[in-house]
Structures are given as structure tokens and as C-alpha cells.
Chain A
Amino acid sequence: MICFRCVECVNKSRHNSENFELFTLDDVDAAFDKIIQLKYNQSISLKGKGQGISVTPLAAGHMIGGTIWRIIKDGEEDIVYAVDFNHKKERHLNGCVLESVTRPSLLITDAYNAAYNQARRRQRDEQLMTNILQTLRNSGNVLIAVDTAGRVLELAHMLDQLWRNQDSGLMAYSLALLNNVSYNVVEFAKSQVEWMSDKIMRTFEGARNNPFQFKHLQLCHSLPELNRVPDPKVVLASSPDLECGFSRELFIQWCTNPRNSIILTNRTSPGTLGRQLIQNPNQCTVTILVKRRVRLEGAELEDYMRKEKEKELEAAKLKAEKGGDMEDSDSSEDSDIEMEVDIVGKAKHDLMMKTEGKSRGGGFFKQAKKSYPMFPVREEKIKWDDYGEIIRPEDFMILDINPTEDENKENREENDETLQDITEVPTKCVAVSQTLDINASVQFIDFEGRSDAESIKKIISMCKPRRLILVRGSPTAIDSLASYCQNSGLVQGKVFIPKLYEWVDATTESHIYQVKLKDSLVSSLNFARAKEAELAWVDGEIVMVEDEYLIDLEKEELKKEKEEVEEEETGSRELIPTLQPLPTSLVCGHPSMFINELKLSDFKQVLLRNGIQAEFSGGVLYCNSVVAIRKNEAGRINLEGCLCEDYYKVRDLLYEQYAII
């Protein structure tokens, strides 16, 4: 839903300044009907061509509804698509859960932030707060450029909370949210509480206070509306790149005044005004193209009218040919028709026609064209008095050049939300190049809500993907992340860096088949616990058996299993490979394994709990001053000591930390 609003807003704000024809709002609506909504952790299995593949969205942080996609084939091969995630908990969102995904066979992520380290959140918050306070106390306005529906929630929530705080001293100033759909965005945010952070949810459950029921934030949809908000004020306006929308308009208005402050919250794509300002913080002037949608006037208007009329006639003709009912002519055309009628004047016909009085749309014209035998004539008696002919003053009034004005006003009153909607007025787009002095302070404070370089590396090291594809990001950032991942041994397989339009062959040979485990086998196993799993060494032999149970009772199950099995061995039908234990005489033993990775600091706690003194000195853990444990670079643990009881005690405890099979 949020996405919907976002697209809608971008579309609208674009429309306000230029012609945008890639798609229309109707296309947006139509596309929405095709989208299936999923909840986090809801797996959906694909059908048909995608049989065997299931898709699960995981929370990604960054934005409300932000998703990391996990695509799993046959329950084993998992591909994780994670871009723009944020592992940090924010005010309105929980952090991402990427670190809980372990050992995916392929991770696709971005290197957008791979060469970028951000300041601590607290520091950034303080920066914002100081900037706002200083500007406002100096009676200047603050423009915060944000997106329409994603990150704006974080900022809006944060600022509203700040304003609520009595000590902040901000109560005296105004706070506004300005974009085309601000009302809707906030309404939606209110009904999406279950997608937000635990803290927000708790406040809602505990106090029934919807955190997006703003106390101080005023919602504005147009510049006139914003002008009613008293200065000095803080305005959250979209879009973040200052390329279109209200933020650009406000920037043009405010940047010349040294008292004002402009805060950019997002490093937008290169080439945009926002990025330009971030990269050149000391820039004094900026030349920008001021695009505006203006009403048609004079000759252009007449030309437009004529064309519209022709179109109208054409449409009417078409309709008449179809013989369809005339009632439902396009309502957007209504205004033009009625206007036309107004100009011609209200002539009454002396012949009764069926459609008399119907002034709607094409019908009027069609009828007029086809069935009137003659022009309607109305004879007016000229009256005279002592001063001469009695005139009607209206006849001598100058006709309003733009008769649609009135209608448009009506329109506005009816539809307060779409104040900017000037589609029904004939308009055109103009662009004027303008050079502006930037006197206002321009500051970039990162509120993008993405993990930075250090965290990305840490997260990758936690989920240890087998292979990695890096997308998006400057070549240097991608290279540095790629080499980091390869050199540190985080990614054992390949790291791909595809260019645009380049195919990457990331297929792996994965061998997999299913065997049934005989009960006698399972009961003979000695399981050792390691983390959440249990491990055991198995020596077994495969026998191909026809399983009667499966055939009789679970035909469906069997089919499924068969499909999986038959990938490996076509031809054999009801044969299920079954693993049975090897007779003990044939078991040839195996090298024992220690499974687990020991952290010395954890082990120290274990020792202390068992009444053994343990202390670190130069990376070596000394136990009761007689036994030393050290860990070398390769992760090998070395236990050293002289023959004593403590040595064996420590060794037993050490062994307990491992699953030994």
C-alpha cells in the first residue's frame, strides 16, 4: 500500500512540473491487483514452472515493509536477495534478520554502502536537533528533504516525539509534512503498526496510543496550505533528491535566505540536485532548470480548444456509430463541453427534441448535427423606453478569458486532497533555467537507514554465504567488498560482480537424494548435541526396498518422494533407497571429530562456574595457574599443563564444549 502511495505521489509531483507518460495512475491501480501480499516469514510455494521453489520474505529494516527475499529450492538450495537492509533497530522499525540466515548457497547483496561509514545514530540525531534548533531560534525555516512514504515515517515519528518533549523548547515552532499524499501516508502508517518495531507495538498495546497519531506534525498537501503554517517551521517535503516535488519548490524559494537551513537525508543518485549539493558543500550558486506546469493562454488556448473540440466531435461520431448510450461520456471531458455551451449562449429550440435539456457530453453534439432541421431562432422583441432601447448589461460585459476558472475552484472545494490536481485545465510545461545563490546552510545528515560498510562486512561474516553476487555500488566499493570477502575466507565459493546486462552463471552442482532411515539404524545411533542440532556418525548400507506402507497409505506422499528420487534414478519405480546399519564387523572406524568452535571467553565462564580459577594473560587462558589454554590463528586449541588432577578436570570440561563423534 505504501508503495502505491509512493508511486502515486511521484507521479503527481512529476505531473505538476513536466509531462510524464511512462504510466498513468490507472496503470498503477491495475498493477496493484496483480500483487500478492505476503507477511514476513510467510512461505509461498510456487506452482507450475516454479515447482519445488518456495519464497519467503524476511524483515529487512530500512523501510516499512522492507524485505529480504529468501528463495529455496527443494528445501536445500537457498538464495538470499538482500539489498538495502538495515540491521540496526530504529524508532519505527526492527532491524533486519539477515544474520539469522546461515550458510545460504547464494547471497545477492549490494555494495552501495561498502565504502561508507556512518556516524553513530545518536550523533546524527544530535546533529539534526542542533541544526533545527539553531535555525528556528534564528527565525529561519528548515527544509528536510525526504521520500514520500518510507524513511519519512522515521523522521516524522522522531520529530513529533521531539516536539512532544517539554524540555526541547520546540513547541513554539511549527512542524509540517508536505507532500501530495501526506494524509494517506499517515493514515496508512497508523494501520500498519503490526509491521513496525516491537517498541511501537508495545506502546500501542499498552497505551492504545497510535504512534502515528501526530500531535504536532501538520499535514499539508500544497504550498498555499503550507503558507498558512506560521513561520519559523520545519518542513518534511518530498522528494529527497530535490529533482521534483515540493522539496524542489521550497528549495528554490528558501535557498537564497541565509537564515534558512536545508537538510538532505539521503545520498540520492548521482546527477541529481541533492547529490550535487552533498558532494559540493561549499557551492555558492546553483543553476537549475525550473520546470513548471502553466495554464494555456491566448492563442495557445484557442488552439487547444479547437483541437479538443475536434477530438470531441470525433469521439461523438464514434459513439454515435456504435449507438451506445450517451450517458457515460468521459467525465473529464465534461468541463470542456459545458464551457463550450456557455460560450455559445443558451439557445432554446422551438422544436421539441427527445434529448432536449440533456447537456451531457457528446449526445448534445450528435443530436445537433443529425436531427435538427434548422437553426433555432428566437425572436426577441426590442423594447424601448424614454432613453432608448432597453439593454441587458450582461451582453456588454467582457467575457472571461478563462471560463474554466470557476469550475476549477469548485473542483478544489470538492476535493481538498487533490488541490494540486490541475489536469482538467489545459496546461503545458515550461522550463526556465535559473541561477540561484545558495545562502541557506545545506547539510547532509544520514537518515537513509541502511547498514554501513563495517556492519555489512560483519553481517556477511555471520551468514557466511557459499557464493556471493554483488550489485549496485561504485566499482571501488564493489571491489573492496569483493576482495574483503574472498581474502578473509568468508565466502568459500565464487564472488560474482556482474556488469549491467551481464549474465552470471551461478549454478552449482548439487548432489542430493533422499534415503529412508531404518528404525534399527536410528536407534543404534549415539547423538551428540551441538548448538541446536544433534550429530551422530553413521555407517550404513543402502538397500532398495519396495515400501508397502507408502504404497498403501500415502500414495500422494509417495508421488512426491518419487519425483525427488527419480531425478536421480529414473526407471526404478517404487524403489526407495533405505539406509540400514552395517554389521559391526564391517564397520572400519572413523577418525573422531570435534565439532564446535570454542570461544575462550565463553569457556572461561564455564570454568568459573565449575570452581576453577581462570584468567586471561596475553591471550592465554590460565586455569588454576597450572593449565594453559591458547588458541592459535588456525583456530586450533592447545591445552597445556603438567600432570595433575586439574589438567584432567579442565580437559573434561573442554571436551564438554564439543560434540565429539
Chain B
Amino acid sequence: MATVSKRKADSQVPPEESDLLVIRPLGAGQEVGRSCVILEFKGKRIMMDCGIHPGLSGMDALPFVDLIEADEVDLLLVSHFHLDHCGALPWFLQKTTFKGRCFMTHATKAIYRWLLADYIKVSNIGTEQMLYSEADLEASMEKIETINFHEEKEVSGVRFWCYNAGHVLGAAMFMIEIAGVKVLYTGDFSRQEDRHLMAAEIPGVHPDVLIIESTYGTHIHEKREEREARFTGLVHDIPIYYASSLAKKCMAVYQTYVNAMNERIRRQIAISNPFVFKHISNLKSIDHFEDVGPCVVMASPGMMQSGLSRELFESWCTDPKNGVIIAGYCVEGTLAKHILSEPEEITTMTGQKLQLKMSVDYISFSAHTDYQQTSEFIRAMKPPHLILVHGEQNEMGRLKSAIIREYEDDVETNIEVHNPRNTQSVELYFRGEKTAKVMGSLAVDPPQQGHRLSGVLVKRNFSYHLLAPSDLSKYTDMVRSTVSQRLSLHYTGTLQLLHFFLNQLSGDVEAIDIQGKKALKVFRKILVIQGVDMVTLEWNASPVNDMYADAVVTVILKADSAGISTKVIPPIMKLDKMHFTECLMEMLADMFGDEAVSKIVKGDRLFVTVDGKSVSINLRNQEVKCEEDEVLQQMVTTAVTKLYNSLTPVKV
């Protein structure tokens, strides 16, 4: 926190009191890939996703995390297991100073492990400068905590929970609440129920800020039935393989986390596991594949950067009888994106040129929201602020203007749409309302104008409670305790001598007996007990009492060293009334002139006349009376009290 406050030294408010909420995409700002959004509010820093760019490699693929201090991130939330959302996570967890906590759903964590292991293997061939190794990945598993859908967690005052996003198994939308301000981060989501996942849920609470993906911008998807028909029209009645060891590994995860899927699957599990396939078999590797006769091979990676899908593509692309179906969104710079533009030839991984003769189809099975769903989702949420991420610049721009157009005639709703570029921050202000709950005996009387409240304010994670001190242990787990002190110090003199000295310090020194020992009570708080060649001080600790004790200690030390013979103990000094009267008269004469002060003291009263107004001063209790002028009375009172206090020893 120290560094934070240093940096913001110019603004007077400490970060945890500031009303400024900053959202800053470090990746996926006007681009697709390397999702990473930073949220800062009230001194808390949350990172949402930490992906890599599939079209880039090495350090270039990372989001711009060098713009933040990793150790200042309190919380890292990962929406789902795709590389562009969690690809940089092992690096961030293991190779930076990050020391916050990291959360994802159970299924995401299980698949993350295998997906990234596969990624490491695949990219080992291509790039030298690996971001992390298998060992780093393994170690990162320890640091990742899991969260269930709808389960509420709290980390240093930040409350968060997640909803089903319907994008892939375990994909989550995170709702984050800091000091009453709610931010919803959708990650990738789909509002269309598919064969195994439910549609993204619509949260029951309205967020103040909605960070939403915009991959497909203003596109409208074709219906699932049509899409599936088109797919099965291209392929039918031939053996089907899923050619990825990864898929095989992850199948166990799919067979286990059926609870994160839709109703249909959950019902089916009661009969048999729907992820135990009858017609689809696993292909261990390309070596096990006999390329005879027609077949369908589902191979990864989806954008054909490398790996099995790339190998198969290269061996099949020259034959017009073959076909490739791109089944998901393709990022700029990948082969899949390239062949969608129907080039004449392509470059293989070895640099060779090959003619592209096979048919190329694009049937999207990637569960991303389209404009229809996005618009419906925004309508349900009505967030005052909308932040677009995870979309290619033009798509995002189109989506932004479409949404603005949709609400331009709507007076009721006011949605501000932001589409920040990478590293560009969106600054929003949320005026924090601080309300405290008054509880227990303090709250017995209902609040009224002018009612005074004194008590302990307990602040816990942005919530305030006001309690009477006696109720503290009733409503909180905190306990009041007492600390008593006994301090012994060397003193050889008599108690009478000490009494004399202490009397100069304090107006009320009492001589008492404690269990046969002579003792003095000073300031009514501090006991001075005489022992052999020493005295012991006893008191209950508090800042005021400690101060008194220190004063008493000083007096005792002085008395010890003063070396006044014990025989001539001066009598205990009483307040010299005459001295006080003299001083008072002198002072008043200085204030109002000699003639104003009467020279005679009547009884205990002294009179002063100023501008014909008479002021009477009671010398015994320092009461000042002046019927005619209140200002004058106040003035004299102050003067008298100050004088009295400076002349007499301290009284409690």
C-alpha cells in the first residue's frame, strides 16, 4: 500500500477512500486475444484473465503487464480455460512478484492443466523463448484456488461470485463488488443453449459497470439447427476421430463436471454418461492414423498455428476432394484466418509453398455471443457504464455505435459505452456513500436532530458499525482488555518527603494504607507504595495514566536526588490564597487598567469594573459573574481559569 500512496501523493485522498474507479485493458482492448483487464477501486487491484495472443509468440504474446506492479494485484480471476484467457497465467503466477490470490472454477482448473501442458509441447517445436515450462505449470496449480458457480467469496474486502457463461465447460462471468460498486466481467459468453452447456445466466443484480466481450460485434449467428445441418451435410456416415491427446485427457473432466452443464446433460447422467461416445473414437497420434478412405478428424489447435491440425491440413490441402471446416473464431495472423480469404497457395511450416485446392468452410461452433444476444443481455443488465473488450477494432466500433443507436431515443436508460484500446484506462467516479449501522444500546433511542452519539466505529471491509464500548464484545469478536503496570524504582527517602514533592505536582495526593504498607494515591489513579529502599508505582495503563505516571516518576527521581534531610520536611504546601489574589489583581490591572480593579476583597469576592460594567469574581471557586456583558464575563472567566490552573498543582 505504501507504494500506492506514494504514487498518488499529489491527490490528497488515500486510495481506499478515493471515488475513482479505473478499468484498464492490458490486452484484448480493441483486439481479440491475450485478455487481461485491470480494475482498480478503493485501493484494490483486480486482474481479470491473463491470456496470451495466439497470433504472436514469446514475450510479444503477453498482455502489457509491465505497466502494472504484479505485487500490487490483490486478486486474479480467470474466466475460462482458453489460451487467450489463461495462457499467460503460469508465467504471471511463477515469474512475477504476484502474491495475491487467484481463482477459477473447478472445471477450468482441471482443463487448464492439460490445455497448457499441450500448448507447451506444441510450441516447443516452434519457439525458443518459452514463457514457462511444464514445471512452472505444475507449480502454478498450487496457487490457484477454485470457486463454485454462485459461491460468494471475499478477499480483503472484495466480494465476488460467478455465473455460468455458457461459452465452454467451466466458463464463468465474474461479478465483483467493492464497497457497494458492482462490476460484471463476462469473459467470453453465449446466450444460446447448446448441446452440452446452458446459456449464460442473466445475473439477478444489476452491475454498475459491465465489461463485455464483442468478438462477433454486430453479427447475427445462424441458428443452431441450420449450423448443425450444414455441418452434418458436409460430413456423414464415415468414421469420426478426435485426434488430440488433449481431448482424450480432458474427456475425464467432461465426464466428471456434468454439474456445470445444462439440464439435459444432468438428466442424462442419471442413465449413462453422455461423454462416453459410441461413434467417435480417439486417434492417438498421426502415426496411428491410416490415411485410407474417407473420415472425419477433429483436430486441434483450432486456428491451425501448429500441431496435428496443421499437419493434416498440409497433407490434405492439395486435393480438391478434401475439405476443411473452420469451427471457431480465428485471430488475425493465424493460418485459419488466412485460408478464409481463399488464397491460391499457402506456406507450410517448413516454408514450402502448397496449392490450396481443398474446400474451405466456416461453420462457427464457438459459443460467442452475437449482436442479438449481446443486445438482449445489455437490455437485461442496463449498466450505466459499458466497456467493450475482446473484439477486433472495427467490430468493436460497429457494436459501440449500434448500442448507442439503440438507446439514443431512450430517455430512461443512459448507457455510456467505452471501447478502450490496450493500456488506455477508463476512469469512472462512484461517489461512495458511507453509512454506518448504529447497533445495540446506542440505538435504543431513535435518531433525532441534535442527538449526540459517542461510541466505537468498527470498520470492516467498507462496512461501518457504530457501537457502545460495552457492546463491542457482543457484536464483534473483539475484546476489551486491561493492562495494569507495576513499576519499581529506587528511593531511599521518606514517604512524607515524597508527599511534599508530589503535592507540588498534583492537587490531590492522598495518604492511604494498603495491606499495612504506607502508600500515596496521586491523581486518583496512581498508587505509590513504599518498600525497602524503593517505591512501587501501580496503575492501569492508558495514554493519560501513563503520562501521569511518567510525571510521578520524574518527581520521585528528583526527590531521591534532592537529598533534603529527612528531618526538615517543609509542611505540605496549601494553595496560597493570598498569592493567588495578588496575582489575579495584578493580571486584571494589566488587562483593564489599574483603576478598574477594586483594591478591596469583600469576603471571597473581588470586583472589577470595566466601562461601567461590574464583574464579580469568586475567589473560592473561580466563578465569574457579569450580568450586563456576556462577552466580558467570558473573557474574565478564561483569564481567571488560566491563571488558577497555572498556579495550582494539577487536579484530576
Listed in ascending order, the chain A residues whose CB lies under 8 Å from chain B are 38-43, 56, 75-76, 102-103, 184, 187-188, 190-194, 201-202, 204-206, 208, 210, 464, 466, 492, 510-517, 519, 522-523, 525, 527, 530-544, 549-550, 561, 568-569, 577, 579, 582, 590-598, 635-643, 647, 651, 654-655, 658-661
Q: Are A538 and B457 in touch, CB under 8 angstroms? A: yes
Q: What chain A residues lie within 8 Å of B252 (beta carbons)?
A: 208, 210
A512 to B478, CA, bound (A): 20
Q: Which among B106, B434, B475, B490 is the interface contact of A522 at CB below 8 angstroms?
A: B434
Report if A204-B443 is in contact (Cβ < 8 Å); known contacts: A542-B448, A594-B482.
no
Q: What chain B residues lie within 8 Å of A659 (beta carbons)?
A: 478
* Nearest-neighbor residue (CB-CB) of A525 within chain B: B457
Q: Are B452 and A540 in touch, CB under 8 angstroms? A: yes
- The reply to whether the CB of B125 lies closer than 8 angstroms to some CB of chain A is no
- The reply to whether the CB of B649 lies closer than 8 angstroms to some CB of chain A is no
A43 to B466, CA, bound (A): 25
Q: Which among A40, A208, A655 is the interface contact of B249 at CB below 8 angstroms?
A: A208
Q: Are A595 and B447 in touch, CB under 8 angstroms? A: no
* Nearest-neighbor residue (CB-CB) of A561 within chain B: B435
7 A-B pairs whose Cβ atoms sit less than 8 Å apart in the complex: A194-B106, A514-B436, A539-B454, A541-B450, A579-B466, A641-B486, A660-B543
A511 to B146, CA, bound (A): 39
- The reply to whether the CB of B645 lies closer than 8 angstroms to some CB of chain A is no
Q: Are A594 and B435 in touch, CB under 8 angstroms? A: no
Q: Are A638 and B452 in touch, CB under 8 angstroms? A: no
Q: What chain A residues lie within 8 Å of B476 (beta carbons)?
A: 102-103, 533
Q: What chain B residues lie within 8 Å of A597 (beta carbons)?
A: 479, 481
Q: Which among A39, A41, A535 is the interface contact of B456 at CB below 8 angstroms?
A: A535
**The 9 A-B residue pairs with the shortest CB-CB distance in the complex, in nearest-first order:** A511-B443, A577-B447, A42-B150, A643-B489, A640-B486, A39-B148, A533-B460, A194-B106, A517-B434
Q: Are B447 and A542 in touch, CB under 8 angstroms? A: yes
Q: What chain A residues lie within 8 Å of B489 (beta carbons)?
A: 642-643
Q: What chain A residues lie within 8 Å of B225 (beta carbons)?
A: none
Q: Are B436 and A595 in touch, CB under 8 angstroms? A: no
Q: What chain B residues lie within 8 Å of A544 (beta carbons)?
A: 447-449
Q: What chain A residues lie within 8 Å of B152 (beta carbons)?
A: 41-43, 56
Instruction: State the Cβ distance, A576 to closest chain B Cβ, in Å.
Output: 9
A533 to B456, CA, bound (A): 12
A582 to B451, CA, bound (A): 11
Q: What chain B residues lie within 8 Å of A204 (beta carbons)?
A: 110, 256
Report if A590-B480 is in contact (Cβ < 8 Å); known contacts: A569-B446, A642-B487.
no
Q: Are B478 and A531 in touch, CB under 8 angstroms? A: yes
Q: What chain B residues lie within 8 Å of A492 (beta carbons)?
A: 474
Q: Which among A56, A514, A527 is the interface contact of B459 at CB below 8 angstroms?
A: A527
Q: Are A191 and B483 in touch, CB under 8 angstroms? A: no
Q: Are B455 and A205 in touch, CB under 8 angstroms? A: no
Describe A's contact surface by its main secondary structure.
mixed
Q: Are A538 and B466 in touch, CB under 8 angstroms? A: yes
Q: Are B436 and A102 in touch, CB under 8 angstroms? A: no
Q: Are A513 and B544 in touch, CB under 8 angstroms? A: no
Q: Which among A194, A568, A651 is the interface contact of B447 at CB below 8 angstroms?
A: A568
Q: Are A536 and B484 in touch, CB under 8 angstroms? A: no
Q: Are B482 and A41 in touch, CB under 8 angstroms? A: no
Instruction: State the Cβ distance, A270 to closest chain B Cβ, in Å.
Output: 36
Q: Are A636 and B109 in touch, CB under 8 angstroms? A: no
Q: What chain B residues lie within 8 Å of A590 (beta carbons)?
A: 454, 469
Chain B contacts with A in 421-446, Cβ cutoff 8 A: 431, 433-444, 446
Q: What chain B residues lie within 8 Å of A595 (beta carbons)?
A: 472, 478-481
A512 to B443, CA, bound (A): 6
A112 to B106, CA, bound (A): 35
Q: Are B433 and A516 in touch, CB under 8 angstroms? A: yes
Q: Are A40 and B454 in touch, CB under 8 angstroms? A: no
Interface residues on B, range: 35 or more
Q: What chain A residues lie within 8 Å of B487 (beta carbons)?
A: 640-643, 647
Instruction: State the Cβ distance, A73 to closest chain B Cβ, in Å.
Output: 13
- The reply to whether the CB of B458 lies closer than 8 angstroms to some CB of chain A is yes
A251 to B553, CA, bound (A): 83
Supplied contacts A38-B150, A41-B148, 17 more A-B pairs, CB within 8 Å: A39-B148, A210-B255, A512-B438, A514-B436, A515-B447, A535-B457, A542-B449, A569-B447, A579-B466, A592-B544, A594-B483, A594-B542, A636-B484, A640-B485, A642-B488, A643-B488, A643-B490
Chain B CB within 10 Å — which of A194, A511, A537, A569 has the most?
A: A194
A444 to B482, CA, bound (A): 51
- The reply to whether the CB of B464 lies closer than 8 angstroms to some CB of chain A is yes
Chain A CB within 10 Å — which of B141, B447, B475 has the most?
A: B447
Q: Are A184 and B270 in touch, CB under 8 angstroms? A: yes
Q: What chain A residues lie within 8 Å of B439 (beta carbons)?
A: 76, 510-512
Q: Which among A184, A513, A531, A561 is the interface contact of B438 at CB below 8 angstroms?
A: A513
* Nearest-neighbor residue (CB-CB) of B447 within chain A: A577
Chain B contacts with A in 252-302, Cβ cutoff 8 A: 252-253, 255-259, 269-270, 273
Q: Are B259 and A191 in touch, CB under 8 angstroms? A: yes
Instruction: State the Cβ distance, B20 to closest chain A Cβ, in Å.
Output: 15
- The reply to whether the CB of B477 lies closer than 8 angstroms to some CB of chain A is yes
- The reply to whether the CB of B523 lies closer than 8 angstroms to some CB of chain A is no
Q: Which among A527, A591, A596, A643 is the interface contact of B479 at CB below 8 angstroms?
A: A596
Q: What chain B residues lie within 8 Å of A539 (beta carbons)?
A: 452-454
Q: Are A536 and B457 in touch, CB under 8 angstroms? A: yes
- The reply to whether the CB of B113 lies closer than 8 angstroms to some CB of chain A is yes
Q: What chain B residues lie within 8 Å of A192 (beta carbons)?
A: 259
Instruction: State the Cβ distance, B298 to closest chain A Cβ, in Å.
Output: 20
Q: What chain B residues lie within 8 Å of A658 (beta carbons)?
A: 481, 483
Q: Which among B431, B456, B466, B553 is the interface contact of A643 at CB below 8 angstroms?
A: B553
Q: Are A533 and B459 in touch, CB under 8 angstroms? A: yes
Instruction: State the Cβ distance, A9 to closest chain B Cβ, in Å.
Output: 14
Q: What chain A residues lie within 8 Å of B132 (beta carbons)?
A: none
Report if A201-B435 is in contact (Cβ < 8 Å); known contacts: A582-B452, A593-B480, A639-B486.
no
- The reply to whether the CB of B149 lies closer than 8 angstroms to some CB of chain A is yes
- The reply to whether the CB of B151 lies closer than 8 angstroms to some CB of chain A is yes
Q: Are A592 and B466 in touch, CB under 8 angstroms? A: no
Q: Are B257 and A201 in touch, CB under 8 angstroms? A: no
Instruction: State the Cβ distance, A143 to closest chain B Cβ, in Å.
Output: 29
* Nearest-neighbor residue (CB-CB) of A636 within chain B: B482
Q: Are B453 and A579 in touch, CB under 8 angstroms? A: yes
Q: Are B113 and A206 in touch, CB under 8 angstroms? A: yes
Q: Which among B149, B441, B448, B481 is the interface contact of A635 at CB below 8 angstroms?
A: B481
A14 to B273, CA, bound (A): 29
Instruction: State the Cβ distance, B458 to closest chain A Cβ, in Å.
Output: 5
Q: What chain A residues lie within 8 Å of B256 (beta carbons)?
A: 190-191, 193, 204, 210
Q: Are A40 and B151 in touch, CB under 8 angstroms? A: yes
A651 to B151, CA, bound (A): 45
Q: What chain A residues lie within 8 Å of B481 (beta carbons)?
A: 594-598, 635-637, 658
Report if A515-B480 is in contact (Cβ < 8 Å); known contacts: A537-B456, A537-B457.
no
Q: Are A517 and B464 in touch, CB under 8 angstroms? A: yes
Contact with A along B127-159 (1 / 0, CB 8 A): 000000000000001000010111111000000
